[in-house]
Amino acid sequence: MRPIDADVLLKKFSAECEYSDDCKKPEPCITCLINGCPTLDVEPIKHGQWRVAKSSEGLPTNRFVCSECMGLVQISVYCYHCMFNYCPNCGAKMDGENT
C-alpha cells in the first residue's frame, strides 16, 4: 500500500497531464496523476485495550492503563461510559474490551 496526499491529487486533476509521453488525451491520465503524487510517511495504527489499574491494596480504581504504552488515564468514578476511544498518551485505538 502507498498512502498518497489527496490534496495534491485533487490539484493535479485540474491540470493537464504532463507526467508521461504516453498520455495523448486532453484530459489528465489518472495513472500518471496518482504516480506523480508524493507518498506520505505514516505510521501503522496501534490497537490496544484499557486495563483497570489496581490500587496498592489490589482493588480496582477509576484509573486505566493503556496496553500499548502503559500510560495512565483517570476518569470520573461514576462515568465509566466516558472512556476514551484512543489513548491520549500514544494514540492507540482502543477497540478491545476492558480487562
47-48 vs 93-94, strand pairing mode: parallel
Q: Which amino acid is at 36?
A: G
In a domain, 25, yes or no: yes
Residue 71: domain span:
47-94
Kindly report, residue by residue over 32-66, the tens digit of the pLDDT.
777 777 788 877 888 998 888 888 888 877 888 89
Distance CA 83, CA 73 (A): 9
In this predicted structure, what is the pLDDT of residue 69? 92
In a domain, 58, yes or no: yes
Tell whether the model's pLDDT for residue 74 goes beyond 70.
yes
pTM of the model: 0.52
Q: Do 87 and 64 fall into the same domain?
A: yes
Split into its structural domains, the chain has a count of 2
- CB distance 28 to 13 below 8 Å: yes
